[in-house]
A and B are shown apart, each in its own frame.
Chain A
Amino acid sequence: MSSIRFSLVSQAIDIASLGAELRDPAAGAVVTFDGRVRNHNAGQAVSCLEYQAYPALAISTGQRILEEEAARHGLLAAQAAHRTGPLAIGEAAVWVGVASAHRGPAFEAARTIMERLKYELPVWKKETYADGRSEWVGPDNKSAETGRAGEGIPDWQAELLEIWISEGNDFRGRHELGRLDHGIRGISEVECVAGMGLRCDRYFGYKPDFKGQVTFFDADAVQAVRDRFSQPELSSSLFRRNLIVRGVDLAEWVGKRFRFQGVEFEASEECKPCYWMDEAVAPGAEEFLKANFRGGLRARVLSDGVLSVGG
């Protein structure tokens, strides 16, 4: 019986009780993380801090994160708690604990849950410094006022034609095993989460700092494949890239930051096609996609926002 629960607490986190919820005879691994208030941040001496929360949304968001990660990593149990109100140095601000059959998924899940709580939970931290000043801090502990992203970042004047997301991989790691057949869904709007990717996609929170959180694909490449292989009706979903765009030269953006519909991205590398494309599209498709950067562009998501088709 799995035990998955997120709680928001105004008193000291009861670590012993949460840990007891992780007991499971099938669990070979339990990983816990205890996030504490430290006495310094960004070169300043911190004397205390305070967390403000939006309780209804924080609880539903925390619970959803635990359930999604438990399902994805096959956990036996997952528990987490976040404090609200004033905290002293050394107190536990957040606690995450997971149980799984083996250590790999347990370590990965605990890390991912913790990262997601930092970025997605509607909770805000106010630090009071040794000199008496206080300030709301943003994610990554930068000042919420000056840590604003996006200044001076070029804007893509591109069109978003289609959005594709899938719950699981079809090809990755499937060498000689045959493709899987996870469905792929076309949607009109998708939520981007900084450091995580596209909500509900297989690469959402896949691993820390993953360079392929999202993939862009040029609509002209889709058309070129249709023409080359005489398949005028071929769906752009076959390539299993996320965002079908027009009006931007993807090859120019490797290693650069940009904004698209207000969301900030950092392009990492060309999304190289693999031999599965020959099976999914037609023999020769892999070679054809390797040319002219047709394979698409991989990127990290740097800020939160929503992308819309036609937006």
Chain B
Amino acid sequence: MTVNVCYYGLLAERRGLAEERVTHSAETPAQLYAELDREHRLGLATTDFRVAVNDEFVSWDHLLADGDRIALLPPMSGG
């Protein structure tokens, strides 16, 4: 399936871009991130940050669908 992956903060800097289309065989955000981390050495563990799909927080074992927009959200630092 093909999804849009959006990177923020530290992860956008490490990936060198803010958004990309990715065709993959992962079923969950955890599997997808493992593929991206292997390829691009993003370096954070999924236990340390959060993920959103289609503008809502989800757990790392949420089931992905074709066309989803997946946002990788490193530790937040508002305020």
Contact = CB atoms under 8 A, between A and B. Distances in A.
A294 interface: no
Contacts of A149: 48
**How many residues of A sit at the interface, in one of the four size bands?**
35 or more
A124 B71 contact: no
A305 interface: yes
Interface in B27-79: 43-50, 52, 55-57, 59-61, 71, 73-79
Interface in B8-25: 8-10, 12-13
B29 to A, nearest CB: 11
A118 interface: yes
A303 B48 CA distance: 7
Interface string A164-205: 000000000000000000000000010100000000000000
Given A189-B59, A305-B47, A306-B59, A52 B8 contact: yes
Contact of A144 (B46, B50, B75): B75
Contacts of A35: 79
A136 B9 contact: yes
B76 A121 contact: yes
Contact of B77 (A56, A139, A262, A303): A139
A94 B79 contact: yes
A120 B76 contact: yes
B78 A144 contact: no
A170 B71 CA distance: 39
Contact of B57 (A118, A148, A191, A263): A191
